[in-house]
Amino acid sequence: MIANRNLLIPIPTPVTTAAAFGRMITDPACLLAAGSSVLRILAGFVCAMIIGTVMAVISVRFKFVGALFSPLLQIIR
């Protein structure tokens, strides 16, 4: 803390960071924003799983689709 006083741009200490986090976590707007972010992330994962499963079934059923996506899959692997 002594070294922090002489800086041109003060760096927050762990104590001030924890205090700010404590104030933020009790704010309903912060909780709403964090909750909506978590829901959007989960929705993205679910959509990716559904699209991936559908594309896997289609590429197994139709060989030309599998051949079409094969170079892309090789790059990803």
Least confident of 35-39, 46-50, 60-64: 60-64
How crowded is the C-beta side of 71, counted as CA atoms within 13 Å? 2
CB 66 within 8 A of CB 59: yes
Is the model's pTM score more than 0.85?
no
pLDDT at 23: 92
pLDDT at 2: 54
Using alpha carbons, select from 21, 20, 24, 16 the residue that is nearest to residue 5. 16
Does position 4 have pLDDT exceeding 60, yes or no? no
